[in-house]
Structure 1
């Protein structure tokens, strides 16, 4: 049975998951990497789209709407007496040299760049990062030089996006292996309670396939950009139920 058939069977058949415990560990690890690749597609897509849209929105804003400014000696300097907020293509840009705007004011935003008095704040896809100006430049940064930097950044997008995808993939794969290992440990308690003769290596393989259904569900929800309340609890609960059903499918005759 190839990896795609295993994927299909794992969505609905605990009995087939039980049989997968006899296969080589290499094939199971390959399946986990395949499942990880499938699960990160929405994240990589929306992150890449956010990066491209953000750069385009910033480029348009710098050329047309952004006020003149200087970043000198780690401080933002403008002629504006009040904060300036620009919304373009679902992206917000805040320029405030007065110190009026606080990071908490936009911490719940999805896509925002805030040039504050002493720090640059970037929020993309709900992830927030802050950088002191002193770390970004030792000299003077103006609107014109920022535009030049942006042109260079846009040329690097075909390199940056694959690198981000690789980082997300490696991080998610690590989380998947930890999740499977913990699930297999819980499986030891389940098999003892049911009196099944299974070893940890069998349970690890079965656990790798037991996470298929919740992984597909949350991948679809991510693709629809729909938040699932108590998602972690649902993920673990469904995985444990499938593993429990798979362990129960181990016949006494097979054990002997």
Structure 2
């Protein structure tokens, strides 16, 4: 059984193994995606709390008191909403990359299905996820970070696609 740490390391260092992991159970892959989503959510939530606490200082006294009174409700609600939004966006992103990967399989005359590319895409977005966290701390324009993430993921998918089996000759 492959551990999540091994999936993480291989998705960062060994892009050729992404094709081999296409046969993993979908449950293991979804667990991995939820771990990545939790990482993004935690860093996003920390940024939210930092910004909120910094902005409270400059607001009206009554509003400051009100926010401090409902903090016990605001923070858990904000965390849940951020987790749901992050999960939705990451799953959509994986699905789009898997669709592109199916096109790569057809162009390269390789054998594979959407479900296999979905698994490979789930692991290929690891770099993109880590870079999105890093770019929150480094002043990089969002468009540049997004384009860089897309390029890296597509390159990893292309490398993984080369390791898929060839289509049988007719």
Q: Which residue number corresponds to residue 188 of structure 1? A: 102
| 1:155 alignment counterpart | 69
Of structures 1 and 2, the one with the larger relative CO (CA 8 A, separation 6+) is 2
TM-score, structure 2 as length reference: 0.88
**C-alpha separation in 2, matches of 1:218 and 1:207:** 16
Q: How does 1:168-183 map to 2 (within 5 A)?
A: 168-183=82-97
| Greater fraction of residues in strand | 1
Alignment-derived partner of residue 211 in structure 1: 125
Aligned-pair distance for 1:251?
4.1
Alignment counterpart, residue 154 of structure 2, candidates 227, 240, 245:
240
Give the drift of 1:198: 0.4
Which residue, 135, 140, 146 being the options, matches 1:227? Answer: 140
CA distance in 2, matches of 1:246, 1:154: 50
Find the aligned partners of 2:130 and 2:67 in 1 and give their Cα distance. Answer: 34
* Unmatched runs of 5 consecutive residues or more in structure 1: 63-146
Unaligned runs of 5+ in 2: none
CA contact (8 A) 1:55 1:154 kept: no
- Counting only pairs closer than 5 Å after superposition, residues 78-227 of structure 1 correspond to structure 2 as 147=62, 150-222=64-136, 224-227=137-140
Deviation at 1:199, TM superposition (A): 0.8
Runs of 4+ that moved beyond 4 A = none
Structure whose residues are more often helix by fraction:
2
Equivalences, count? 165
Pairwise CA RMSD: 1.9
Give the corresponding residue for 1:32: 33
What does the per-residue CA deviation read over 1:177-196, in whole Å, with 9 as the maximum and x for residues that have no partner? 11111111111111111111
